[in-house]
């Protein structure tokens, strides 16, 4: 939804330019960050200083955000970090490596019969496209 590049960090995926975005929002007066003690650790807590610009999002995007918030509401930061470590993009990326945005679309469920049939239908085209990009052997 953000369109931002994400990278793999020790505690999970994060926007590559997170600190720059936060700094700009603080400078623009849109965000404040306060120190907060929780579970024996000091955390930086972000607080919005303005109302969200909801007109920038579709109805479906807003519904998705509400859904994710409901799912995460009862979880601790450690719970969410553990969950983020099951994300295939984070699992396959090296630390500080970019996680391809399209990986967010990869799920863990088995494909439906219709999806399998469509994949088989597209297989010849995929092979043709991949064949065009195979390394050419060097002849002596």
Task: Quote helix, strand, coil % in the chain, to nearest 5.
Answer: 45, 20, 35
Whole-number Å distance between alpha carbons of 82 and 12: 8
Task: Confirm whether 25 is domain-assigned.
Answer: yes
Task: Confirm whether 46 is domain-assigned.
Answer: yes
Task: Confirm whether 136 is domain-assigned.
Answer: no
The stretch 27-40 carries a mean pLDDT of: 91
Task: Confirm whether 135 is domain-assigned.
Answer: no
Q: In sequence order, which residues have a C-beta less than 8 Å from that of residue 21 and are 6 or more positions away?
A: 4, 15
Q: How many domains does one find in the chain?
A: 1
Tokens for 9, please give them.
Answer: 């960090």
Task: Confirm whether 74 is domain-assigned.
Answer: yes
Q: How confident is the model at residue 130 (pLDDT cuts 50, 70, 90)?
A: confident
Extended beta strands in 16-95, E state: 31-38, 41-48
- Quote the pLDDT of residue 139: 55
Task: Confirm whether 140 is domain-assigned.
Answer: no
**56-113 tens-digit pLDDT:** 999 999 999 999 999 999 998 889 989 998 888 898 899 999 998 888 777 778 889 9
Task: Confirm whether 126 is domain-assigned.
Answer: yes
Over 80: is that where the pLDDT of 140 sits? Answer: no
Exposed/middle/buried for residue 90 (C-beta within 10 Å: 0-12, 13-18, 19+): buried
- Residue 80 domain boundaries: 6-130
Task: Confirm whether 55 is domain-assigned.
Answer: yes
Whole-number Å distance between alpha carbons of 4 and 15: 6
- Farthest-apart Cα atoms in the chain, separation: 68
- Quote the pLDDT of residue 108: 77
């Amino acid at each position: 939804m953000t369109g931002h590049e994400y990278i793999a960090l020790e505690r999970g995926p994060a926007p590559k330019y997170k600190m720059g975005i936060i700094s700009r929002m603080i400078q623009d007066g849109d965000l404040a960050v306060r120190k907060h003690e929780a579970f024996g650790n000091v955390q930086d807590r972000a607080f919005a200083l303005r109302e969200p610009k909801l007109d920038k999002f579709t109805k479906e995007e807003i519904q998705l955000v509400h859904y994710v918030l409901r799912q995460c509401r009862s979880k601790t930061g450690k719970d969410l970090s553990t969950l983020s470590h099951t994300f295939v993009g984070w699992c396959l990326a090296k630390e500080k490596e970019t996680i391809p945005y399209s990986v967010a679309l990869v799920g863990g469920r088995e494909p439906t019969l219709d999806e399998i049939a469509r994949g088989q239908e597209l297989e010849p085209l995929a092979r043709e496209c991949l064949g065009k990009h195979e390394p050419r052997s060097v002849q002596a």
